[in-house]
Amino acid sequence: MTNQAGLIAQVESMAKHVYIEELGYAVTDVTPDNLYLVWFSKTLQNWKALVSGKNVGEYLEITHNGDKGETYIDVYLKRMNVVIKDGEDYASLEG
């Protein structure tokens, strides 16, 4: 698959597999309505996607190395969510 729609379908399939088979989420947690593609970029034969979902606590980074014909999947756990309002000093977040 070389077109973008095909690659995104491949990403969604990989993400669904990892969430269900590797991370133990229920099939109902990783439906197309619950998963979302955060970011996707393709340059030459390489591409990268970030995937998450409404009912999951991890982000998946899926990277395809076209030179080697390999795809790598990294799983990141969301540890916290900090809101910084416009004009707020980042130093105010420290202890």
Q: How far is CA 23 from CA 9, 30, 60, 80, in A?
A: 20, 11, 11, 19
- What are 5-52's pLDDT values in tens digits? 888 999 999 999 999 999 999 999 999 899 999 999 999 999 999 999
First-to-final CA distance of the chain:
49
Q: Which two tokens stand for residue 80?
A: 């916290």
| pTM across the whole model | 0.79
Write down the residue that tokens 């991370």 correspond to: 23
User: Helical H runs in the chain?
Assistant: 4-17
Cross-strand pairs, 59: 76
Q: How far is CA 62 from CA 11, 26, 40, 88, in A?
A: 7, 21, 9, 33
pLDDT for 93 equals 64
| Among 4-8, 20-24, 68-72, 81-85, the least confident range | 81-85
Provide the number of structural domains found in the chain: 1
Looking at residue 34, the DSSP 8-state letter turns out to be T
Q: Give residue 45's domain range.
A: 4-93
